[in-house]
Amino acid sequence: MDIFKQSPVVGIIAGGGQFPVLVARAAHARGLKVVMTGFVGHTDPLIAKEADAFKMIHLGQLTALVNFFKKHNVVNICMAGAVSKPKALDLRPDWRAAKALFNLARRGDNDLLSLVVRELEADNFLLFQAADLSPDLLAPVGILTANLPDHVLQEMQYAWSVLKGIGSYDIGQAIVVKERMVIAVEAIEGTDATIKRAAELVGEGCVLVKTLKPNQDGRTDLPALGLKTIELLTKYKYAGLGYEAGKSLFFDVQEAIRLAEKNKLSIVGIPSEGIENLTNYNQ
């Protein structure tokens, strides 16, 4: 992207997990200076070693975040990493954040994240998608595993249509189905807990599908998958995993595929235009 040539500094708003670490390393590989903020209770303090400048703040301290980035001449900013939804309810908004929150009509994920985007852009920061620095982490399209039974594909198609339908309500990015029945919808507990909850309800053979919510800004919170996800799915004997290709992150993908095939778990990267177009992407 041209923005990285225009400014030698990149700002990273880091949550939890490995993604902000990988983004910081990708930025350094491009010769960029990394200025990073993390959130108390969400971000591992050890991530500070990946940054040239680092500040830990409480979730909601918008003024401190803006001032820190301005101090280090940051223009381009990305968000990377997870923020625990239950913990996110324990906001400590400063005056600026409180004023902005007051103006929100509702408080779904999309609204809160959009608020951050609007406030940053109001201070002339440019928010970009973190995957622009590490595009190899974007989840690929197509059938990743050797085996995809017809009934699993049909379950994914059903889940996809339901998830895209309810996504506008800003509920969650994942759904679990079995025998064309909705078993669990991701809510505040997150994907891992949703996987477990569904399996405890109906046993093995479930199918999980994750997508970007309709109208969700991909710069703020891409669906994420990884080896840990596959370990959990195989533990509970899921039959399939579908995700929105190019709009999801997939960490340790080759290891994940090997584990999935060993446990007869089908993995499919669904094109954004729909699962019925899947055959156009497989050789």
pLDDT at 109: 46
- CA 135/CA 142 separation, integer angstroms: 17
pLDDT at 60 over 70: yes
Q: At what angle do helices 62-71 and 109-122 cross, to 10 degrees?
A: 40
Average pLDDT, the chain: 88
| pLDDT for 189 | 84
Q: Write down the CATH superfamily of domain 138-281.
A: LpxI C-terminal catalytic domain (3.40.140.80)
Average pLDDT over residues 191-215: 93
DSSP states along 246-264: TSSEESSHHHHHHHHHHTT
- Give the alpha-carbon dihedral of 234, 223, 173, 122, to 10 degrees: 160
Q: Which helix or strand (DSSP H or E) is residue 76 part of?
A: strand 76-80
Q: Distance between CA 218 and CA 145 in Å, rounded?
A: 26
- Taking the model in full, what pTM does it have? 0.86
Query: Are 92 and 40 spatial neighbours (Cβ–Cβ below 8 Å)?
Result: no
Q: How far is Cα 11 from Cα 74, in angstroms, rounded to an integer?
A: 6
Domain extents for the chain? 3-134, 138-281
Whole-number pLDDT of residue 242: 97
Domain 3-134 and domain 138-281 have a common topology: no
**Cα–Cα dist 179/105, whole Å:** 37
pLDDT for position 283: 44
* pLDDT digits 0-9 by tens, 150-164: 999 999 999 999 988
* CATH fold for the domain made of 3-134: Rossmann fold (3.40.50)
Tell me the pLDDT tens digit for each residue of 72-108: 999 999 999 987 665 555 667 777 777 666 666 555 4
The CA-to-CA distance between both ends of the chain, in Å, stands at 30
